[in-house]
Structure 1
Amino acid sequence: MSTVIEQAVQARLVASAPRAESVAATLRYDRQDPYAVSMAFPPPATLEGVEVSWAFARELLVQGVDGPAGVGDVRLRPYGYDRTVVEFHAPEGVAMVHVRTSELRSFLERSQHLVPHGREHQYVDWDQDLAHLLEEHP
């Protein structure tokens, strides 16, 4: 069984222009990092022209499809029928995208098959993580 799932989603960039642009984004969940998900955007969708990936708590995504969630760099909230707004806050500014809530729920369901909610701690390699923290860095 694979320990990683990826799912392509269509994200609509929200801008001051009257027409929102759709971009392909990729949601990713890795059983080796059971508390986190990531959302990656391809180079054409970013100001820097390089792929940008944001990592955040899976629990934040769970909460954000049903109600406002997050106070940090990533914030989510439902928007209309079957849309979720995802906001990415950085020193350069704020990026907002709309994603179909049904796509987010499908992704979350798939992640639950890899690591059931509430059992994330069983998939953490505490020894490896502790060894990494204790490594001497030059």
Structure 2
Amino acid sequence: MSSVIEQAVQARLVASAPQMESVPATLRYDRHDPFAVSMAFPPPATLEGTEVSWAFSRELLAQGMEEPAGVGDVRVRPYGYDRTVLEFHAPEGIAMVHIRTSELRRFLKRVQGLVPAGREHLFLDLDADLAELIRDAY
């Protein structure tokens, strides 16, 4: 069984380059980083013209589909029927995307099958992480 889940989604850009209405994006989950998910946007959808990926809490995504969540760089909230808004805050400005909540639920269901919520700690390799920190300190 693969330790990574990737799912393509269609993101409707609300606050970005005016010529773009919707872009493909990719949700990603790796059980080696069990508390996080990421969302990547292709080069045409970004101000820099390079792929941009945002990492944030799996729990934030799940909570934000039900009620407004987040106070930092990534914020998530429900919007109408079957839409969820993700806001990405950066020094250059705010990008806001709408995604079908059903797509996010399907993604999180797959993630849940790989690493059940509340069991993330069982997938951490603390010895390897500590060894890497020590190695980086020198």
Q: TM-score range by the shorter chain?
A: over 0.9
Which of structure 1's runs of 4+ aligned residues deviate more than 2 A?
Answer: 15-20
Query: Following the alignment from structure 1 to structure 2, what is the Cα–Cα distance between the partners of residues 96 and 126?
Result: 35
For structure 1, the 5+ residue unaligned runs are none
What is the CA distance between 1:133 and its match in structure 2? 1.1
Partner of 1:22: 22
What is the aligned length?
138
SS, match of residue 85 in structure 1: strand
Say if 2:115 is the partner of 1:115.
Answer: yes
Partner of 1:70: 70
Query: Following the alignment from structure 1 to structure 2, what is the Cα–Cα distance between the partners of residues 19 and 134?
Result: 47
- TM-score, structure 2 length as denominator? 0.95
What is the CA distance between 1:16 and its match in structure 2? 8.3
Report if aligned partners of 2:8, 2:27 keep a CA contact under 8 Å in 1. yes
Q: Deviation string for 1:23-62 (max 9, x for gaps)?
A: 0000000010000000000000001000000000000001
Query: Following the alignment from structure 2 to structure 1, what is the Cα–Cα distance between the partners of residues 45 and 8?
Result: 14
Query: Following the alignment from structure 2 to structure 1, what is the Cα–Cα distance between the partners of residues 128 and 113?
Result: 24
Map 1:56-135 to 2 at 5 A. Answer: 56-135=56-135
SS, match of residue 135 in structure 1: helix
Query: Following the alignment from structure 2 to structure 1, what is the Cα–Cα distance between the partners of residues 19 and 82?
Result: 19
Say if 2:41 is the partner of 1:41.
Answer: yes
SS, match of residue 67 in structure 1: coil
Query: Following the alignment from structure 1 to structure 2, what is the Cα–Cα distance between the partners of residues 62 and 51?
Result: 24
For structure 2, the 5+ residue unaligned runs are none
SS, match of residue 49 in structure 1: coil
Query: Following the alignment from structure 1 to structure 2, what is the Cα–Cα distance between the partners of residues 51 and 19?
Result: 17
SS, match of residue 27 in structure 2: strand
Instruction: Choose 117-126 or 10-19, whichever is displaced more.
Output: 10-19
SS, match of residue 2 in structure 2: coil
Q: CA 1:18–1:81 in 2, change beyond 3 Å: closer, same or farther?
A: farther
Q: Deviation string for 1:86-107 (max 9, x for gaps)?
A: 0000111100000000000000
Q: Deviation string for 1:77-126 (max 9, x for gaps)?
A: 00011000000001111000000000000000000010000000000000
Give the fraction of aligned pairs with identical amino acids, expressed as a percent.
Answer: 77
Partner letter of residue 96 of structure 2?
M
- TM-score, structure 1 length as denominator? 0.95
How large is the Cα RMSD of the aligned pairs? 1.7
